[in-house]
Amino acid sequence: MFDKAYSGKRLDRDDALALFNSDDLFGMGKAASFIAENLHGKKVYYTRNRHINPTNVCVNRCKFCAFSRSAGEDGAYAMTIGEILARLAATSSPFSELHIVGGLHPDWPFSYYLDMISEIKKAYPRIQIKAFTAVEIDHFTKLSGLGLRGTLSELKSRGLDMLPGGGAEIFDSNVRGRLCPEKIPAARWLEVHEAAHTLGIKTNATMLYGHIETYEDRVDHLMALRALQERTGGFQAFIPLSYQPISGAIDVTRYPSGIDDLKTMAVSRLVLDNFPHIKAYWIMLGEKICQTALYFGATDIDGTVVEEKIAHSAGASSAEMLTTGEMINLITKAQKEPVERNATYEEVSI
């Protein structure tokens, strides 16, 4: 089953499906590690980053999202730019990547987002800003009236460096309709990323798995990403997001086990042969599965994070931050070589 991977041939849809249906977890891990080591040797990347979620008020109410609130609801919040800057100033350790995502606030104008990026860049010119999912960018196009390219160009001119991979969920329209009916369809998510790539803005991609989707849905999701990457080459990392069940939201009869997390990591590495990195996001996986994923094709573990609301609102039991020492330890104890990177994967030491 792994001949194609070892001989550099591309896996097709049937191969990917056969992998998901197989119990040969060690075989998959070995083949995925072979690909990962061909690309990066023993290197595993991490970054000093910080998350900011400017608001949890969102006009979409996706069923898997425990983070969002309606305007005026208990627990709803919306930060001013001054509050964001104060939060950044209060961060005790330095960081090179700032990850900003939030809800679709019904009242904020496009100028708020432009000013947010400009003010942050003015205060921290050396920090790279990875901000706004394709879902947010689509929302901004309705506020700006500038179209996709115009909206992205404005943000870029203020200092936006790259887009995170959120909002992809599962591309299949039936699953999407049940999970997040208000969210942009897959074709629009892909269109936003393609537009960003053509403007020279790198992006990441995600897949939320382990809820109501089938293996076929996962495979089709990976195939769509691989096809876009073939055209643009603009994706840096793929991040499989392990679903954190939230009580009563959707009828989840299975949620991702550790075995499923590792299998999904390995299949992603094997299928997405044109993606530089597969990221094991420790926040969703927990530190031990994240570390084990380094033997299943992962070559990135994300970063320090500092403050995390999306997974923790849904009950994630991982810590909210890791120190650089803890990340280095996690990587070296797996006999891999830790490499500090910035948002665009340049090797740095800050």
Nearer to ligand V47, 186 or 208 (CB): 208
Q: What is the layout of strands, in order, in the sheet containing 300-303? A: 300-303, 43-47, 337-340
Q: Applying CB under 6 A, does 104 fall inside the site for ligand V47?
A: no
Smallest separation (angstroms) from ligand SF4 to the CB of 136 = 8
Q: How far is CA 23 from CA 26, 29, 98, 155, 194, in A?
A: 9, 11, 39, 46, 35
**Which residue's C-beta sits nearest to ligand V47?**
166
For tokens 């390995």, the residue is 266
First to last CA, the chain: 43
Cα 281 to Cα 287: distance, rounded to the nearest angstrom:
9
Binding residue (CB under 6 A) for ligand V47 from 44, 175, 201, 310: 310
Q: Which amino acid is at 26?
A: F
Q: Which of residues 10-29 bind ligand V47 (CB under 6 A)?
A: none
Nearer to ligand SF4, 16 or 135 (CB): 135
DSSP string computed for 30-81 = HHHHHHHHHHHTTEEEEE-EEEE--B-B-S---TT-SS-B-TTSTT--B--H
Number of residues that bind ligand SF4 (CB under 6 A): 12
Smallest separation (angstroms) from ligand SF4 to the CB of 134 = 10
- Span of 109-117, 161-169, 219-227, 320-328 interacting with ligand V47 by CB under 6 A: 161-169
Number of residues that bind ligand V47 (CB under 6 A): 23
Site string for ligand SF4, 163-182 (x = CB under 6 A): -----------------x--
Q: Which amino acid is at 76?
A: A
State the binding partner of 303 from ligand V47, ligand SF4, none, CB within 5 to 8 A by kind: none
Site string for ligand SF4, 112-151 (x = CB under 6 A): -----------------------x----------------
Q: Which of residues 177-206 bind ligand SF4 (CB under 6 A)?
A: 180, 183
Binding residue (CB under 6 A) for ligand V47 from 241, 267, 298, 327: 241
Q: Is the dihedral of CA 269, 338, 295, 318 positive or negative?
A: negative
Q: Applying CB under 6 A, does 281 fall inside the site for ligand V47?
A: yes
Classify burial at 107, counting beta carbons within 10 Å of its beta carbon; exposed 0-12, middle 13-18, buried 19 or more: exposed
State the binding partner of 206 from ligand SF4, ligand V47, none, CB within 5 to 8 A by kind: ligand V47
Nearest of 118, 348, 332, 310 to residue 206 by alpha carbon: 310
State the binding partner of 244 from ligand V47, ligand SF4, none, CB within 5 to 8 A by kind: ligand V47
Nearer to ligand SF4, 103 or 338 (CB): 103
Q: Are 263 and 254 in contact (CB under 8 A)?
A: no
Q: Applying CB under 6 A, does 70 fall inside the site for ligand SF4?
A: no
Q: Are 344 and 127 in contact (CB under 8 A)?
A: no
Residues near 191 by beta carbon (within 8 Å), at least 6 away in sequence: 148
Binding residue (CB under 6 A) for ligand V47 from 141, 144, 204, 292: 204
Which segments of the chain does DSSP mark as H helices, in order? 3-6, 13-21, 25-40, 81-89, 110-123, 134-144, 147-158, 173-179, 186-198, 215-232, 258-271, 282-285, 287-292, 310-313, 324-332
Q: Applying CB under 6 A, does 172 fall inside the site for ligand V47?
A: no
- Span of 18-26, 58-66, 87-95, 250-258 interacting with ligand V47 by CB under 6 A: 58-66
Nearer to ligand SF4, 104 or 294 (CB): 104
**Interface ranges with ligand V47 (CB under 6 A):** 64-66, 133, 164-167, 169, 204, 206, 208, 239, 241, 243-244, 246, 281, 284, 302, 310-311, 314
